[in-house]
Amino acid sequence: MFIRCGCLLLLAPLTTAVRRGHSHTPFDQDPFVFDPKGRLLQLDYADAAAAKGAPCVGVCANNIAVLAAVNDKIADVDARHAMTFAGVRADGYALVDFVRVHAARERLRLPDEAPATRALALALADECHTVCIGGGRRAYGCRCLLAGLNPDGEACLWSVGPGGDARHHKSGVAAVGAGAAAVVEALRSFAPTDAEAAIEAAAAAVLDAADDGQVASVVALSLNARGQACLRWGADLGPEDLQSDAWRIACREALAPSSNEDLVVY
């Protein structure tokens, strides 16, 4: 009888929490403990937060990298890389700062060579994974897209999740946030031939998945004629702007190959 009463007393708080709409279990409280099904519930919650974020799209074509997102969430890492994210905004900007610092360290370590996109993506993945296995911190509630140009001029696109899972999107198309799977499926057969086509496809995909009245912030990266300096163009585009030629002219002028000596390499 005593054992039965003790079990009831232990189950009472859990039953009360479930009735109140909470599903907290001992596995919810500790982000480093697996539940009986082999899941990290805190990591699942972080993935859910990222999946509810505003959509972000990345497109790469030849030596052109394009990121598009709503709510002006695209940040420059350095002259050759840009980053965006879906999920908790504060977590996303904390990771942006982390990648910026790592890129600066790489430039100090190898001053004659620009940081590779793969190195930055793996450093970002290590940071996300570290907080999931110890240190008393919770997982970052966002999923990131990192686009950039390697030292050889190749455009690369990487995504990094809350658990530290890094993926190189060799297809040249990636999306995070709400409706990401539908966006990738819509762009799967798309093969952009120039910067304008890539920008239009990325912006249109973001606007289709976004709420009415929102605009798409777009950043495009390319190399100059000598393959040394990075050219950058950015703008906010709405549905009506995509029908205009004004942004195409501005993009063409900003990303036009140039051999000027005053362009910055990094």
pLDDT, one tens digit per residue, over 86-132 is 999 999 999 999 999 999 999 898 887 888 999 999 999 999 999 88
CA separation for the pair 263, 128 (Å, rounded)? 34
The predicted pLDDT at position 25 comes to: 59
Return d(Cα 148, Cα 76) in angstroms, integer: 10
pLDDT at residue 258 greater than cutoff 50: yes
Q: Are 39 and 48 in contact (CB under 8 A)?
A: no
Nearest to 217 by CA among 247, 238, 245: 238
CATH topology of domain 22-254: Glutamine Phosphoribosylpyrophosphate, subunit 1, domain 1 (3.60.20)
Per-residue model confidence as pLDDT tens digits over 153-210: 889 999 999 999 999 998 889 999 998 998 898 888 777 778 888 999 999 999 988 8
Residue boundaries of the structural domains of the chain: 22-254
Confidence of residue 17 (pLDDT cuts 50, 70, 90): very low
- Global pTM? 0.83
Q: Which long-range contacts (CB under 8 A, 24 or more apart) does 37-40 make?
A: 40/132, 40/163
Give the Cα separation of 69 and 177 in Å (integer).
Answer: 10
Q: What percent of the chain has pLDDT over 90?
A: 47
Q: How confident is the model at residue 20 (pLDDT cuts 50, 70, 90)?
A: very low
Three-class SS string for the chain? CHHHHHHHHHHHHHHHHHHCCCCCCHHHHCCCCCCCCCCCHHHHHHHHHHHCCCCEEEEEECCEEEEEECCCCCEEEECCEEEEEEECHHHHHHHHHHHHHHHHHHHHHCCCCCCCHHHHHHHHHHHHHHHHHCCCCCCCCEEEEEEEECCCCCEEEEEECCCCCEEECCCCEEEECCCHHHHHHHHCCCCCCCHHHHHHHHHHHHHHHCCCCCCEEEEEEEECCCCCCEEEEEEEECHHHHCCCHHHHHHHHHCCCCCCCCCCCC
Taking only the tens place, the pLDDT of each residue in 68-77 is: 999 889 999 9
Q: Which residues pair with 237 in a beta bridge?
A: 216
CA gap 8, 17 in Å, rounded: 14
pLDDT for position 186: 85
Contact predicate 54/177, CB 8 Å:
yes
